[in-house]
Structure 1
Amino acid sequence: MTLPQPARAADRPAPSGDLAADAAALAALCADGERLLAALPAPADRDAAASRQAARVHETCRDARHAFLDHHAETVYDLLTARRTRRPRLAELARTAAVRFPGLVPGRDLLAEEAGRLQAHKEGREIDQGIFFGAVLRAPRAGTHLIETMLRPAPGSAALLDGFRRTGTVDLPTVRLERRGPAAHLTFHNGHCLNAEDNRLIADLETAVDLALLDDTVHVGVLRGGRVTHSRHAGRRVFSAGINLKDLHAGAISYVDFLLGRELGYVHKIARGLLTGAPGWRGPLVSKPWIAAVDAFAIGGGMQLLLVVDRVIAAEGALLGLPAADEGIVPGLANLRLPRLTGARTARQIILSGRRLTAGEPDAALVCDETVPAEEVGTAVERAVGELAVPAVAANRRMLALAQEPLDVFRAYLAEFAVVQAARIHSPDVLAKVERRWSRTGSGT
């Protein structure tokens, strides 16, 4: 079957600057693209020629989306948020954009079509979402508003606050939150996959971080991995194995809620604080010091967490690493944050070459504040809680965050990350690496 070719970028008129006309042109172009894709076999069944055809269609539509947003990102965002009086989170913003501007981002039907597919068998709709969020974050007013929206308590957190204040505990599916004295202890319980991060853990961690920051009796947060049930390390405490590659292979890692939402959500709340919206001269930002207790290893996303906390206590011999070169994806904001701690040369070795650090060696001391025997980690944590619970610490760590990572620097990095990470999770080299690991081990951890 011979299919018509998508329009070449050079043959398409540039956006006129008129929002309605440009939106209509984009919708028509993308509708034509979807008809072309629908006439092809499903991604898993395409031969080389059909795959090239699909790639040309996607490239044409993505160029058009980028050009449209380059002209209209701020205006589009204002329309979607009623001139920034509404605060939709990422997923809701994307859903609203799909309805208001057809073709700009994938709608519910296209996302539902992708939902049950392996990552390697998807069309790559997340790339279209990445183009949208990258443009929004690149726009100063819109990007700042979206960042502030994601710093507010997540839906459902407030409903659990009274219970946490009353009982001092909350048990979420993958996280246990427990108040002990002035500290809130967040323990990861995703033990079947070595406390690797998946959609459920990301959501639970944001809720737990919200509660720790909202409870006025909590002065310090503590992050620690619970004991795992995975056969290789059964019964041991493990901090984190990073992203759950089994879920990535299965297409079950959400770009919006995990890969982008993680950075704008709980990790950023640990780094910068929680926006409560409460009026007053002190401002609406609640910031508290955080401690990470590293047992066994902190890999990938686990090591990324160490870059935003105020005290890292590691068991002797614990491994730290960012396997970006091996996995092929971007390690969150580590590229921005790690060089501040280790210097540029060591950061490049860790990120670009996969170098691992071992707690106790000199370079690991650039990331870990204290290294102790495994059986003394708990004692060291309690000592650190006592040191960091004093009132001046929270004020000073907030000012450090402002100095080290100004909001506009964070926004500019996230604008590029949103696009690059969306492309990376659909890149042939990443898909091949995930498939090889799956074929070799039958799991992603």
Structure 2
Amino acid sequence: MSAGAPGGGSLDPVPEPTGGIEADVRRLAEYIGGTERRLAALPPVPDRAPHDRDRAVAVHVRARRARRAFLARHTETVYGVLTDGLTRPVRLADLVYEAADRFPGLVPTRAQMAAERRFVQAEKEGREIDQGIFCGAVLRSPTAGRHLVETMLRPTPRARTLLDGFRTEGRIELDTVYLERRGVAGHIEFRNAARLNAEDDRLIADLETAVDLVLLDDVIKVGVLRGGTVDHPKYRGRRVFSAGVNLTDLRDGRISFVEFLLGRELGYVNKMLRGLLTAPSPGDGRERSVGKPWIGAVDTFAIGGGMQLLLVLDHVIAEENAYLSLPAAEEGIVPGLGNLRLTRLTGARLARQVVLGGRRIAATEPEARYVCDTVVPAEDMDGAVDRAVEALRAPAVSANRHMLTVAEEPLDLYRAYLAEFAVVQAERTYAPDVLAKVERRWQERERRRAARGSVR
């Protein structure tokens, strides 16, 4: 039976690229069209019997093999077409969807991804894995990957729209972030209060906007990150830095791969580390970008993505009862670029204890000094932040932090890591152990919620 036929039967061989881009595009589109018809002939993911699931896996394996073979030969050509020969900056999400339009079957379409979002993570087809394969191939290319990294270092259109108002008012309130200029410091406060300041798609977008505004504002010399007060019954009224990725949203299928899991690393996190690209023409990096020092003020805890943020900051202040953790072993996913950056700060042995063993580091432990610069009582946090701002406002700080980044994390090292991360993280978010863990956590939370309701 051919690859285009529904139902069972053997799949056609994966097409091998011939080297001619037009012919290979047609062959890929025809082959993927056949695999899509096979998937459509199966029951929806939640209703699939074991033999149906096995068939779906076999179809996806062949389709992904075809995409990988195509990209192994044509990635730079594809990227050149999508960016008009590297003359047009295309942000990551737009790049992925334009690729779907221009090269049918290479990545999922907007319509396919919209259909996926109607399901919880465990009931999706797993099309974000195909996005990860494409993004990994682009980042693996020195030419295309560097161009994409630089594109993502540009200010977002949303930030440019809001800039004049922020310069005038000195403050701006977004859905989940509050930004205020205080003297020469730009204070960003996480305000995802109902979720322990956990990261979700809204917070990621708001944070990139706020980071852009801090870097674009001429008055601001230093950026400050701090968590606002939260509504959780256990911590109500207390500041919390961050609970990391929102695992409920992950379970519910609301954590996007392109916009969140990969977009945060190419977006605001990288902008804090490397600065904002403000001039498009090639030349000296310092003439094209603006970077500023960043301070982190950690109240209560910095978990997962929260701890990852600390690894790119220039000065970290922790409240003495706070703790840090990267619960990758518990969650089952990769902790962003934590695996790349934590070893540099702590050494390999402690990094393995944290990432592989789930070790939690209390702010008062001796090992905390590898991540935190200062540990203070809760009542001294504001004063410690002010002192750090004063120490880091000197003009030479930005130049020297830039040179430290060049030495510690060259762009090509970052790009190569991210290329591998794109593929591995996309696969892990659909791994059976991850799906089982987030489902258990969700059920436990629902039981606790029901118990609280019955007590009332």
User: Fold match, TM over 0.5?
Assistant: yes
Aligned partner of 1:403 in structure 2 is: 407
Aligned partner of 1:80 in structure 2 is: 82
Q: Does 1:314 align with 2:318?
A: yes
Could you tell me how far apart the structure 2 residues matched to 1:346 and 1:76 are?
Answer: 42
The 3-state SS of whatever aligns with 1:173 is: coil
- Kindly state the Cα deviation for residue 6 of structure 1 after the two structures are TM-superposed: 5.1
The 3-state SS of whatever aligns with 1:103 is: coil
Distance 1:415 1:444, change over 3 A: farther
Could you tell me how far apart the structure 2 residues matched to 1:82 and 1:311 are?
Answer: 41
1:340 is matched by which residue type in structure 2? R
- Kindly state the Cα deviation for residue 45 of structure 1 after the two structures are TM-superposed: 0.7
> Any conservation in 1 of the 2:6–2:41 contact (CA below 8 Å)?
no
Aligned partner of 2:453 in structure 1 is: none
Aligned partner of 1:285 in structure 2 is: 289
Of residues 162, 169, 172 in structure 1, which corresponds to 2:171?
Answer: 169
> Any conservation in 2 of the 1:437–1:443 contact (CA below 8 Å)?
no
> Any conservation in 2 of the 1:342–1:367 contact (CA below 8 Å)?
yes
- Kindly state the Cα deviation for residue 13 of structure 1 after the two structures are TM-superposed: 4.2
Aligned partner of 2:129 in structure 1 is: 127
Where do residues 221-370 of structure 1 align in structure 2 (5 Å cutoff)? 221-277=223-279, 282-370=286-374
Could you tell me how far apart the structure 1 residues matched to 2:280 and 2:403 are?
Answer: 20
The 3-state SS of whatever aligns with 2:212 is: helix
Partner deviation per Cα, 1:107-156 (whole Å, 9 max, x = no partner) = 12211211110000000000000000000000111000000000000121
Aligned partner of 2:454 in structure 1 is: none
> Any conservation in 2 of the 1:188–1:224 contact (CA below 8 Å)?
yes
The 3-state SS of whatever aligns with 1:233 is: coil
Aligned partner of 2:144 in structure 1 is: 142
The 3-state SS of whatever aligns with 2:287 is: coil
Could you tell me how far apart the structure 1 residues matched to 2:304 and 2:216 are?
Answer: 28
- Kindly state the Cα deviation for residue 443 of structure 1 after the two structures are TM-superposed: 9.3
Could you tell me how far apart the structure 2 residues matched to 1:203 and 1:48 are?
Answer: 39
> Any conservation in 1 of the 2:15–2:27 contact (CA below 8 Å)?
no
2:148 is matched by which residue type in structure 1? L
Could you tell me how far apart the structure 2 residues matched to 1:371 and 1:240 are?
Answer: 17
The 3-state SS of whatever aligns with 1:156 is: helix
> Any conservation in 1 of the 2:200–2:260 contact (CA below 8 Å)?
yes
> Any conservation in 1 of the 2:6–2:37 contact (CA below 8 Å)?
no
TM-score by structure 1 length? Answer: 0.97
Could you tell me how far apart the structure 2 residues matched to 1:291 and 1:203 are?
Answer: 20
Of residues 47, 62, 71 in structure 2, which corresponds to 1:45?
Answer: 47
Of residues 423, 427, 435 in structure 2, which corresponds to 1:423?
Answer: 427
> Any conservation in 1 of the 2:139–2:415 contact (CA below 8 Å)?
yes
Could you tell me how far apart the structure 1 residues matched to 2:280 and 2:254 are?
Answer: 36
- Kindly state the Cα deviation for residue 159 of structure 1 after the two structures are TM-superposed: 1.2
Where do residues 361-380 of structure 1 align in structure 2 (5 Å cutoff)? 361-380=365-384
**After the TM superposition, which segments of 4 or more aligned residues of structure 1 sit over 3 Å from their partners?**
278-282
Identity, in percent, stands at 61
Could you tell me how far apart the structure 2 residues matched to 1:254 and 1:123 are?
Answer: 14
Could you tell me how far apart the structure 1 residues matched to 2:64 and 2:425 are?
Answer: 15
Could you tell me how far apart the structure 2 residues matched to 1:266 and 1:353 are?
Answer: 28
Could you tell me how far apart the structure 2 residues matched to 1:289 and 1:172 are?
Answer: 23
> Any conservation in 2 of the 1:244–1:444 contact (CA below 8 Å)?
no
Could you tell me how far apart the structure 2 residues matched to 1:353 and 1:27 are?
Answer: 44
TM-score by structure 2 length? Answer: 0.95
Could you tell me how far apart the structure 1 residues matched to 2:80 and 2:269 are?
Answer: 26
In structure 1, stretches of 5+ residues that fail to align are none
Distance 1:444 1:364, change over 3 A: farther
Of residues 68, 71, 94 in structure 2, which corresponds to 1:69?
Answer: 71
> Any conservation in 2 of the 1:6–1:33 contact (CA below 8 Å)?
no
- Kindly state the Cα deviation for residue 442 of structure 1 after the two structures are TM-superposed: 2.5
